[in-house]
Amino acid sequence: MVIATQASTLSLPQINPGVNSVLDYLILTFPRIKADTWRQRVADGKVHWYDGTVIKAHSPYQAQRRVCYYREVEKEITIPFQESILFQNEHILLAYKPHFLPVTPGGVYINECLQNRLRKTTGLQSLQAVHRLDRATAGLVLFSIKPETRHVYHHLFASRQIDKTYQAIARVKPNDTLLGQQWEIKNRIIKSDPPFLMTVASGEPNSQSFVRCIAQSNDQALFELNPITGKTHQLRLHMQSIGHPIIGDNYYPSLQEKTADNYQKPLQLLAKKLQFNDPVTRSDRVFTAPNNLALIN
């Protein structure tokens, strides 16, 4: 059994979903975890309020109070790729995330995530990611070090004050001439079924990206992507919408049968550059990943 050393937290919603106890809420909120598992965690004292007070089986639901619990998995897979730190000062840390490594704990991953790996190597237990990349995507991730300045870096992303550049490789027809072509994609992205998938729907657009082809070789092309909004799986869907789904994508255009990770065939999507004005130091920041995606001739 692998148990997280750092607590995960959640805030109980202002509107009670119809439960009497905190335990009932956890069982309702996390249906993939067996109810008996939650009962055992509570009985073992592994669930507590943010102030450290242990939550009992009949502790009543209290709106907006923060609950702490510790993620557990039977066995955790080791991701055989190494992250690297590209920049660090007293407020932020900028890291390169390899393919297949999640940014934060989730599913069967607890310690094998970028955040917990960096907490271990740096000793900075307050380190927290201020944005996310899909587990399948490689590239730059910004972390906050100081809790007192964390909100201003979160605000950069929430208010779209940060320029993001990605690279992607897609299959193309050998007789296509795409080099230099540009696309502006606007559409409406909503949740699909199963709920971890997204889909393009009719209605007012809620997503926007700019895409440009910057290289082409035989049946592959390299694209530069600049997302304006940040919807889940936005770039994957936008590449699909122009007829060029990203190589290695197991979700789009069709969901593939779930298998063990094929480390030889990663999703060809890279978070290449982050550019913003630092809200604390007031200096312009331009961070670039040390590698590029490469076309196979």
**Tens digits of residue pLDDT in 175-203:** 888 999 999 999 999 999 888 899 999 99
Q: Is the residue at 285 inside a domain?
A: no
Query: Is 172 in the same domain as 263?
Result: yes
Query: Is 124 in the same domain as 204?
Result: no
The C-alpha atoms of residue 82 and residue 112 are separated, in whole angstroms, by: 11
Query: Is 263 in the same domain as 203?
Result: yes
Q: Is the residue at 275 inside a domain?
A: no
| Final residue in a domain of this structure, among 50, 73, 96 | 73
Contact 235, 241 (CB under 8 A): no
Query: Is 183 in the same domain as 258?
Result: yes
- CB proximity list for 35: less than 8 A, separation 6 or greater: 27
Token output for 8: 């995960």
Q: Is the residue at 100 inside a domain?
A: yes
- CATH code of residue 146: 3.30.70.580
- The model carries a pTM of 0.85
**Tens digits of residue pLDDT in 116-166:** 999 999 999 999 999 999 999 999 999 999 999 999 999 999 999 999 999
| Nearest alpha carbon to residue 69 among 57, 55, 82, 81 | 55
| pLDDT score at 106 | 83
Query: How long is the chain?
Result: 297
| pLDDT score at 107 | 80
| pLDDT score at 293 | 95
Q: Is the residue at 174 inside a domain?
A: yes
What's the mean pLDDT when you consider all of the chain? 94
Query: Is 178 in the same domain as 263?
Result: yes
Q: Is the residue at 192 inside a domain?
A: yes
3-state secondary structure of 121: helix
| Nearest alpha carbon to residue 285 among 134, 83, 91 | 91
Domain count for the chain: 3
Q: Residue 24: is its pLDDT beyond 70?
A: yes
Q: Is the residue at 283 inside a domain?
A: no
Domain membership of residue 176 as a residue range: 164-270
Mean of the pLDDT values across residues 62-78?
Answer: 90
Mean of the pLDDT values across residues 87-100?
Answer: 98
The C-alpha atoms of residue 196 and residue 205 are separated, in whole angstroms, by: 20
Query: Is 247 in the same domain as 224?
Result: yes
Mean of the pLDDT values across residues 73-82?
Answer: 90
- CB proximity list for 110: less than 8 A, separation 6 or greater: 2, 3, 4, 71, 72, 73, 76, 116
Q: Residue 36: is its pLDDT beyond 90?
A: yes
For residue 40, the tally of other CB atoms under 10 A from its CB is 12
